[in-house]
Amino acid sequence: MKRVLALAVPLLLLLTLSAQALEPRAVKVEPVLDFNGTTATCSVSFKADSATDKVAATLTLYQGSTYVDSWSDSGTWRVSISENCEVESGKSYRLVLTYTINGAAQPAKAVTGTCP
């Protein structure tokens, strides 16, 4: 019994570590919303953990609850989106990032800003 237990504990530990290694993770995923006059620059760039990971992202810009525009990109290992959009001075905007890694939805990220 002790011999079986001695073999089972390392095996369980190895299986736990292997399962954690399979969970997709991205490194620092944050959308960026910048203003230059009445032009908003909406961007995000990130890489997944593995060069074989499939990634997809969509940035959506809102003024209040009103949809303004959206942009998407997908690929293997990395995604990069940087687009400009005309906005109104004095209005507040929210840029929302939704993304997946290997088809698994990741928590959405958002950033807000006001056009000067």
- Output phi, psi for 101, to 5 deg: -130, 120
- The pTM score is 0.78
Between 1 and 104, residue with greater pLDDT = 104
Where do the structural domains in the chain lie, given as residue ranges? 24-114
Contact in structure between 54 and 47 (CB atoms under 8 Å): no
- For 67-107, write each residue's pLDDT tens digit: 999 999 999 999 999 999 999 999 999 999 999 999 999 99
Residue 84 has, within 13 A of its CA and on its CB side, a CA count of 6
24-114: CATH topology:
Immunoglobulin-like (2.60.40)
